[in-house]
Amino acid sequence: MSRKNQWMALCSILFSLMMIFSVAGCAKKAVSGDPGTASDKVVIAESVTVAQSGSAVAASSETKSGSAASSGTVTEYTVKKGDSLWFVAKYKDIYDDDFLWPIIYEANKGQIKNPNRIYPGQKLIIPRDGFSMKDIKKARKKAGAKRPYTPPKGSKPPMK
């Protein structure tokens, strides 16, 4: 077999394997820069609840969270598979600052024993106010942020 035929056979085998993996879903999927907005997920989940139950209680809970979602802030987050406190704090509608995960941890210490381990289905409370800039800087320092300990531009820290 000539060298040219060997290369063509090898390339066709590699191409076939790539096609099989991409069709079978074994290939890594592309990840967008935005990890998703939890407020969209909250509104969708609640609208499904309203559609299924049709009760006024579900509709009133939608309007409460809907106002928080429309302002771009979330006060409660349900952990999804693959989440960590770091990722949750980084979501644009939560804090948009991954170094603020200690604030979420402190608010949920009753259900989180180890900040490195959170589980799908856990409902985390997301503090929205009551913190001074000193508290924010302390949390960022605890998370390992470099100096200066100021939140990045555009973030939504839970300040007074």
Q: Indicate yes or no: pTM above 0.95.
A: no
Radius of gyration in angstroms for the set of CA atoms belonging to the chain, rounded to a whole number: 22
Q: What is the pLDDT of residues 136-160, one digit of tens each?
A: 888 888 998 887 766 677 777 887 6
Is residue 158 within 8 Å of 130, Cβ to Cβ?
Answer: yes
Closest among 88, 71, 100 to 35, alpha carbons compared: 88
Cα separation, 127 vs 106, whole angstroms: 10
Q: What's residue 117's pLDDT?
A: 92
Q: Is 5 left (phi over 0), alpha (psi -120 to 50) or beta?
A: alpha
Give per-residue pLDDT as tens, 41-64: 443 333 333 333 333 333 333 333
Upstream peptide bond of 151 is cis (omega within 30 degrees of 0) = no
Average pLDDT, the chain: 72
75-103 as b/e: b if 16+ CB within 10 A: eebebeeebebebbbbbbbbbbbbbbbbb
- Which top CATH class is 73-143? alpha beta
More confident residue, 103 or 25: 103
Closest CA to 88 of 123, 114, 63, 61: 123
Q: What pLDDT, on the 0 to 100 scale, is given for residue 20?
A: 80
Q: CB–CB of 50/62 below 8 Å?
A: yes
Distances (CA, A) of 145 to 72, 104, 141, 148, 152: 25, 16, 5, 8, 11
